[in-house]
Amino acid sequence: MLPKQTSTHSWKTLLTACTLLAGLSVFAVQAHAADVTLSGFMSIAGGKVLNGNGSEPIIDTQCPCFVNDWYNMGMYNSSWSWRPESRIGIRLNGKMTDSLSGVMQIDASDTRYRSGPTLEWAYLGWRPLGSDWEVNLGRKRLPIYYYSDFSDVGFAYPWVRPPQELYGWEINNFNGATIVHHGQLGSISTRGSVFFGREDSHDNAFMAYWYGVNDKPDVSWSNITGADIEFSRDWFNVRLVYIQSNVYVASLSDGVLADGGQQIYGISANIDYNNWLVRSEYSYFDRWKELGYRSNAYMAGVGYHFGSLTPMLTYSYFSDVSADGTPTWKNSNTSLTLRYDLNSQSDIKVQYDQYRELSAPGSTSGNANVISVSYDRVF
């Protein structure tokens, strides 16, 4: 019998989290009505695997299955579920002085391995009046990808979810410092940053699956150092990013699983021209010298706006190569998404995914054809 995807406890947990978020936001607004701006987002999303050839369970989910969220190990199988991708978030932007501000964001979801509210953003920002420079101290999203900062906000992108061939690793955030510069090169707007910090993740489900261990390991990315730069002009945007850090993974039953360095490289290019939109991104994780593998992933998508309706076709690919040159994990996904904008703050999406396992059978979840839908809203 398949594990039950939605339980009374699950919905109670999500309701409690939403109530906590609402109470926190009301308190903050009442206490600092003139200084605090409240915003939020939500996605009600569901889906199922229509058919597939995977048979071995992934952790405790029966296959055929489809991993829709590698970071949280959210999965769909042959039973329809609203649980793996539904979420809500509240964001508070506070202004303490003309130069000093603060941001806090709390997300709530009820996935199999992550339930209740989590603190995703919490930092102070200092920007002198008239300056193009800004300093942030605290907790932020690690900017590995173009959509990293708003990957939880379903309304911000054309898919039900960002392509998981790229957007899925064991770390999402970091605690530290960021120095940001906003500039102008003629008609080109620029934004660049350098950042430093670390992140610790306990009971990491992604690493449990990656290394095939029984208990969920603890993960640390220490000495994170990185920089990104973005150029925008009218209908075109390009972004480059580089990150390096130490990676440490250990579990109680298996001891140290990884201890070494990594370098991350990424580039994205996006076009919004008349009714056309193009999204493309490439990332490369170099863990070759000390950890014995390297990974690269990319995606390319094209869509067209017919008024409020936007169909989009996207292809994404991931490959992991071991030290002896053997592809140990290789897969692709072709998705067709139809987005309908209800108004300037909400949309409905329907997406069909054709996931294909390209490496040795059983190395991933196997082939799967998946249908999913979402209602996204910002407020």
At 242, list the tokens. 């580089």
Domain parsing of the chain, residue ranges: 89-105+120-378
Residue type, 26: V
pLDDT number for residue 213 = 85
pLDDT in tens, 232-269: 999 999 999 999 999 999 998 889 999 999 999 999 99
Residue type, 28: A
pLDDT at 72 over 80: yes
pLDDT in tens, 159-172: 999 999 999 889 99
β-pair partners for 353: 335, 370
pLDDT in tens, 283-301: 999 998 778 889 999 999 9
Tokens 């200092």 sit on residue: 126
pLDDT number for residue 115 = 74
3-state secondary structure the chain: CCCCCCCHHHHHHHHHHHHHHHHHHHHHHHHCCCCEEEEEEEEEEEEEEEEECCCCCECCECCCCEEEECCCCEEECCCCECCCCCEEEEEEEEECCCCEEEEEEEEEEECCCCEEEEEEEEEEEECCCCCCEEEEEEEEECCCCCCHHHCCCHHHCCCCCCCCCCCCCCCCEEEEEEEEEEEEECCEEEEEEEEEEEEEECCCHHHHHHHCCCCCCEEEEEEEEEEEEEEEECCEEEEEEEEEEEEEEEECCCEEEEEEEEEEEEEEEEEEECCEEEEEEEEEEEEHHHHCEEEEEEEEEEEECECCEEEEEEEEEEEEEECCCCEEEEEEEEEEEEEEEEECCEEEEEEEEEEEECCCCCCCCCCEEEEEEEEEEEC
At 318, list the tokens. 């991931």
Alpha carbons 294 and 246: distance in angstroms, whole number: 15
* More reliable by pLDDT, 50 or 34: 50
pLDDT in tens, 98-149: 999 999 999 998 877 777 899 999 999 999 998 999 999 999 999 999 999 9
**Mean pLDDT over residues 200-216, rounded?**
87
Is the overall model pTM greater than 0.85, yes or no?
A: yes
What confidence tier does 361 reach under pLDDT thresholds 50, 70, 90? low
**Mean pLDDT over residues 194-199, rounded?**
98
pLDDT at 34 over 50: no
pLDDT in tens, 315-348: 999 999 887 777 678 999 999 999 999 999 999 9
pLDDT number for residue 231 = 98
Tokens 């969920």 sit on residue: 216
**CATH T-level assignment (fold) for domain 89-105+120-378:** Porin (2.40.160)
What confidence tier does 73 reach under pLDDT thresholds 50, 70, 90? confident
Note whether 53 and 356 are within 8 A (CB).
Answer: no
